Amino acid sequence: MIRTGLAYHAPESTREACALLADHGDGAAVLGGGTMLLPAMGRGEKTHDHVVDLRHLGLDGVTVTDDLVEIGARTTYSTLLEHELDGVAGLFTLAAGGITGGPQVRNQGTVGGSASYANPASDMPGVLVATGARLVLEGPNGTREVPAADFYTGAFETVRRPDEFLSVIRLARRPAQVGYYKVKLSESSWPIATASAQVQVEDGRVVSGTVTLGGVCARPFTVDVTALLDESGNFRGADRELDELVDGQIEDPWHDELAPGRYRRQIAGVAARRALHHTTQGGER
Amino acid sequence: MSMLDTTDVTPDSTPPRRLLNLTVNGQRRTVECEDRQLLVTLVREELNLKGTHVGCLNGDCGACTLECDGKIVKSCLMLAASADGSEIVTVDGLGTPEELAPIQEAFWNEDGFQCGFCLPGHLFAARDLIATNPDPTDDEIRQAIAGNLCRCTGYQSIVNSIRVAAAQARAE
């Protein structure tokens, strides 16, 4: 139960949504799937006098063209799973299949909501950075597009201004072998670390390989692992070198109620290794 | 949807209210709600359907599960206002005491529940699973009910009930 009064708005147009957010500033919250915002308001951790529900703006759905994948911000994880996304975009499918909370939450949680909430331990921030996605923000002065790597400024912090909302996630279709792995304590637990691996192979020869780690630091980060792959793109098994590469990027590991920073630092390399293995052995959660 | 009170609100003022048009368990209903009201409390308090339970209010336990426009959702994670125009099926609408739905019948016959508080989530998740996967493995059953918590810890009986329900559905 939300104990404070609020006015609910379901704008019919982008312009109307932007005007509402501009009028009410920090007092307004953008409602995505509701899975994080509403419990936080119920606990009194967040108070907003206005809630702006984007459900009438047609932002739910996935469009795939020859070059691009566009994911509406209100696309739920189950809708995402109805599409066979290939190449790098396949990372979205792998992550969506393992979202915590069961089928109900996969029917409710949205890609854009998770992207904007910016919980370091969520699946989406790491996947967005890994896929090189660009986030389209609508605001009173028009539209701007921000690369995912620049979108996140810290834990629960993004460059989105209070009078803006995320409308679309846009990424280039690129062929790649992908693998996803996350460390979590149990099926219903939040991830402690996520690893999104991708290997590009052209004409039978490896071109590049990266692993993006989420949940390890406040912001996702990417490690170039090309040198650790053989000619076909398989991980050569240089565990120690991979651990060092990953560890070298961790200055200030994230900590929350699930795990301290030192634990995350220790398992980051393991997550990266397993995600890399999945690029050739089929992606698993 | 019509706003009944369009005055600006502060946390201490009277919360705005509105009218919602819903189809609930097959019946058209027009019901008034507060803008801040969660769907679960609307269903229980305004529609007087007490089968949907208030559990954790955090999206963890699944006791508030219902079907909204064909998708099973946790109604503590939705504002009632967001459901305007929707078709809702609650656990009360699955079957009747005289004629249980097949999934309810299986839970009844297999002792699939003890206190029954978590039933809405388990029944809807099980029904969804069997509709899309008629012959699920135990692992797939466990994954499908992962969004529901049974404080009686009767998970083995729940998994067994779903296995039996799936087998019966295949046999029909």
- Domain final residue, candidates A172, A195, A218: A172
A44 with A69, same domain: the answer is no
Q: Report CB contact under 8 Å: A34, B78.
A: yes
| Dist CA B149 CA A270 (whole Å) | 30
Q: Domain span at residue A198?
A: 177-281
Interface contact B12-A5, CB threshold 8 A:
yes
* Residues A197 and A149 both lie in one domain: no
How does pLDDT run across A17-67, given as a tens digit for each residue? Answer: 999 999 998 899 999 999 999 999 999 999 999 999 999 999 999 999 999
> Does residue A132 share a domain with residue A89?
yes
Instruction: List the single residue in B1, B37, B74 with the smallest CB-CB distance to A105.
Output: B74
A118 and A135 housed in the same domain: yes
Residue at which a domain ends, from A172, A205, A226 = A172
The residue of chain B nearest to residue A101, with distances taken between CA atoms, is B147
B90-119 residues touching A, CB cutoff 8 A: none
Determine whether the interchain pair B60/A104 forms a contact, defined as Cβ–Cβ distance below 8 Å. Answer: no
Task: Name the helix (H) or strand (E) containing A103.
Answer: helix A102-108
pLDDT at B161: 98
What domains lie within chain B, and their CATH numbers? 2-93 (3.10.20.30), 102-171 (1.10.150.120)
pTM higher than the cut 0.90: yes
A160 & A80 share domain: yes
The answer to whether residue A2 is domain-embedded is no
CATH number of A236's domain: 3.30.390.50
In order along its 285 residues, chain A shows pLDDT tens digits of: 899 999 999 999 999 999 999 999 889 999 999 999 999 999 999 999 999 999 999 999 999 999 999 999 999 999 999 999 999 999 999 999 888 889 999 999 999 999 999 999 999 999 999 999 999 999 999 999 999 999 999 999 999 999 999 999 999 999 999 999 999 988 778 899 999 999 999 998 999 999 999 999 999 999 999 999 999 999 998 999 999 999 999 999 999 999 999 999 999 999 999 999 999 865 444
Q: Do the Cβ atoms of A132 and A87 come closer than 8 Å?
A: no
Query: Does one domain contain both A90 and A23?
Result: no
Domain holding A42: CATH number?
3.30.43.10
Give the CA dihedral A19, A161, A192, A83, nearest 10 degrees.
50
How large is the average pLDDT for residues B61-90?
A: 98
Whether B50 and chain A come into contact, CB under 8 Å, resolves to no
A1 located within any domain: no
Model ipTM value: 0.93
Q: Residue B71: its chain A contacts at CB < 8 A?
A: 78, 107
Residues A145 and A211 in one domain: no
